[in-house]
């Protein structure tokens, strides 16, 4: 089970991701979670630092797809002004959502990195699909849904202790 939950990289936030190192590893595409990864769950639009980060990704020739368990309206409102494809109602860690995103990126799994804030959805889904996994610390835990806060995060704390990941 450890190999399914251990991220390849663990960083504080998206700005701390070394995208050049990802490119050197053969990553050409990114599947990125929305809530608590790019923005807090109650932030409707992308702030300037997210635009800047995405510009860097595009300038490097990488492509991106947002994959979120949130509803279509929430994800579409965020992704549309950024001109980024997305998969909503993803049911992560289901392979189906990751496969749909991979198809939108037109890439093999080994050329994709998944970036997200949860071990049990983002990292597990990435590993199950043979993708590189980048774990970021959540932006705002106090805004999370009941299930995420009271179930996923508790299980995640135990898993992080076993994996010796910093909290």
> Which domain covers residue 41, as residue numbers?
2-163
The residues, ordered by sequence, that sit 6+ positions from 33 with a Cβ below 8 Å of its Cβ are: 66, 67, 68, 92, 114, 115, 116, 117, 118, 121, 122
- In tens digits, the chain (167 residues) has pLDDT values of 567 889 999 999 999 999 999 999 999 999 999 999 999 988 888 999 999 999 999 999 999 999 999 999 999 999 999 999 999 999 999 999 999 999 999 999 999 999 999 999 999 999 999 999 999 999 976 777 777 767 777 777 777 777 777 65
How many domains, the chain? 1
The residues, ordered by sequence, that sit 6+ positions from 17 with a Cβ below 8 Å of its Cβ are: 9, 11, 115, 134, 136
What's the predicted TM-score (pTM) here?
0.91
Q: Provide the CATH number for the domain around residue 74.
A: 3.40.50.1000
Half-sphere exposure of 143 (CA within 13 A, CB side): 11
How high is the pLDDT of residue 73? 96
How high is the pLDDT of residue 1? 58
């Amino acid at each position: 089970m450890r190999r399914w939950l251990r991220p390849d990289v663990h960083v504080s936030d998206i700005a701390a991701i070394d995208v050049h190192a990802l490119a050197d590893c053969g990553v050409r595409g990114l599947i990125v979670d929305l809530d608590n990864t790019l923005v807090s769950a109650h932030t409707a639009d992308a702030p300037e630092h997210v635009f800047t980060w995405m510009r860097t990704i595009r300038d490097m020739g990488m492509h991106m797809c947002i994959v979120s368990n949130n509803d279509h309206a929430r994800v579409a409102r965020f992704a549309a002004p950024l001109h980024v494809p997305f998969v909503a109602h993803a049911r992560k860690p289901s392979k189906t959502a990751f496969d749909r995103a991979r198809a939108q990126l037109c890439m093999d799994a080994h050329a994709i990195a998944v970036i997200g804030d949860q071990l049990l959805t983002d990292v597990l889904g990435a590993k199950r699909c043979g993708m590189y996994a980048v774990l970021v610390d959540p932006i705002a835990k106090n805004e999370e849904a009941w299930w995420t806060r009271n179930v996923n995060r508790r299980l995640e704390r135990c898993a992080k202790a076993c994996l010796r990941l910093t909290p």
